[in-house]
């Protein structure tokens, strides 16, 4: 019978001791930072970490500093026992689940900020969000010291912010991006899908469909502004609102594309409320 939970540690010191033991045995370590409320998307990241590094550590920490004052920090779904069971089912070797006092002891005063890539899109819609993300991810990487760390492309801008931060601060780790896991109807898996009513759940895949249609239109040569406006109208018609953004941007720096043709790879990204849930999604163009 399978284990019902990987070993759980709650302090950076215990985490470091476990990782040091593996490293002393010549093993490699992959970290998958999560906020819990795990779904098949997270589990695919754990599998990727194990495939690339042998040992997989998941962290579970609902990071208060990346939530705005009117966001869902208090309501964010939490069920550690269920998460631990899911992690065990994919062979996760260790669960690091620190409390807030372990991550932000009294007197904590340091913030990591990334300009540029963190400013548009969710950076504009959620002031302070990416500073919270960059700071907690820097801490988790430096607490664990993994060889690789895996993040999902579902949070595409987050992935680019983290890549930039790791490069700029010379954190010695390789960042792997993993493809977005989707339900059969195309909806990107997200812990926040739990907020959807049954009727909203039926409407939700329209976000992915609108982006997929937009990509086809862009390939057919339609102007970016037209395609973005049509996608927004489509989401509003399906019951989304407000739509924070649907935008085509450079895939690496997330800069606005010039008036001419897109140079280099591009990405279309969207964020919109549907009932109580704020959903995000993105596709390569």
Which residues are identified as catalytic?
42
For a copy of itself, the closer of residues 4 and 108 by Cβ is 108
Q: What angle do CA 178, 279, 269 make, to 5 degrees?
A: 60
Kind of pairing between the strands at 148-152 and 28-34: parallel
**In the complex, what is the shortest distance from the CB of residue 117 to a copy of itself, in angstroms, rounded to a whole number?**
7
Kind of pairing between the strands at 174-178 and 148-152: parallel
For a copy of itself, the closer of residues 21 and 172 by Cβ is 172
121: its two tokens: 């899109």
For a copy of itself, the closer of residues 97 and 194 by Cβ is 97
For a copy of itself, the closer of residues 107 and 259 by Cβ is 107
DSSP 27-81: -EEEEEEE-S---HHHHHHHHHHHHHHEEEEEEE---GGGS-TTSSTTTS---HH
**In the complex, what is the shortest distance from the CB of residue 110 to a copy of itself, in angstroms, rounded to a whole number?**
3
Contacts of 223 (CB under 8 A, 6+ apart): none
Asked if residues 211 and 228 have their Cβ atoms less than 8 Å apart, the reply is: no
Kind of pairing between the strands at 148-152 and 94-96: unpaired
**In the complex, what is the shortest distance from the CB of residue 30 to a copy of itself, in angstroms, rounded to a whole number?**
18
Region of residue 254 (left: phi > 0; alpha: psi -120 to 50; beta: else): left
Distance CA 186, CA 87 (A): 24
**In the complex, what is the shortest distance from the CB of residue 132 to a copy of itself, in angstroms, rounded to a whole number?**
13
**In the complex, what is the shortest distance from the CB of residue 145 to a copy of itself, in angstroms, rounded to a whole number?**
7
For a copy of itself, the closer of residues 19 and 235 by Cβ is 19
Using CA atoms, how far residue 80 sits from 60, 86, 95, 254, in Å, is: 8, 10, 10, 34
For a copy of itself, the closer of residues 140 and 181 by Cβ is 140
If we measure between CA atoms, which residue out of 243, 235, 178 comes closest to residue 208? Answer: 235
**In the complex, what is the shortest distance from the CB of residue 277 to a copy of itself, in angstroms, rounded to a whole number?**
31
Q: Which residues bind a copy of itself (CB under 8 A)?
A: 12, 16, 107-117, 134-135, 138-139, 142-143, 145, 164-165, 168-172, 253
Contacts of 129 (CB under 8 A, 6+ apart): 66, 67, 68, 122, 123
């Amino acid at each position: 019978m399978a284990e019902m939970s990987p070993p759980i540690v709650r302090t950076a010191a215990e985490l470091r001791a476990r990782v040091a033991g593996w490293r002393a045995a010549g093993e490699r370590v992959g970290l998958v930072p999560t906020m819990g409320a795990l779904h098949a998307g997270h589990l695919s990241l754990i599998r990727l970490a194990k495939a690339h590094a042998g040992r997989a550590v998941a962290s579970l920490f609902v990071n208060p500093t990346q939530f705005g004052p009117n966001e869902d920090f208090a309501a964010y779904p939490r069920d550690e026992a269920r998460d631990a069971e899911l992690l065990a089912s994919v062979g996760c070797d260790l669960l690091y689940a620190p409390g807030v006092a372990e991550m932000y002891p009294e007197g904590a005063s340091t913030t990591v900020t990334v300009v540029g890539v963190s400013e548009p899109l969710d950076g504009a819609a959620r002031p302070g969000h990416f500073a919270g993300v960059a700071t907690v991810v820097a801490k988790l990487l430096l607490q664990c010291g993994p060889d690789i760390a895996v993040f999902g492309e579902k949070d595409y801008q987050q992935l680019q912010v983290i890549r930039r931060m790791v490069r700029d601060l010379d954190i010695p780790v390789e960042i792997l991006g993993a493809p977005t896991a989707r339900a059969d109807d195309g909806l990107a898996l997200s812990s926040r899908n739990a907020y959807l009513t049954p009727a909203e759940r039926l409407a939700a895949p329209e976000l992915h469909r609108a982006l997929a249609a937009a990509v086809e239109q862009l390939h057919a040569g339609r102007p970016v502004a037209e395609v973005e406006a049509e996608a927004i109208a489509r989401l509003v018609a399906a019951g989304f609102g407000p739509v924070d953004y649907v935008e085509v941007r450079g895939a690496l720096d997330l800069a606005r594309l010039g008036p001419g043709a897109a140079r280099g790879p591009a990405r279309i990204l969207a964020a919109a409320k549907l009932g109580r849930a704020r959903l995000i999604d993105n596709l390569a163009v």
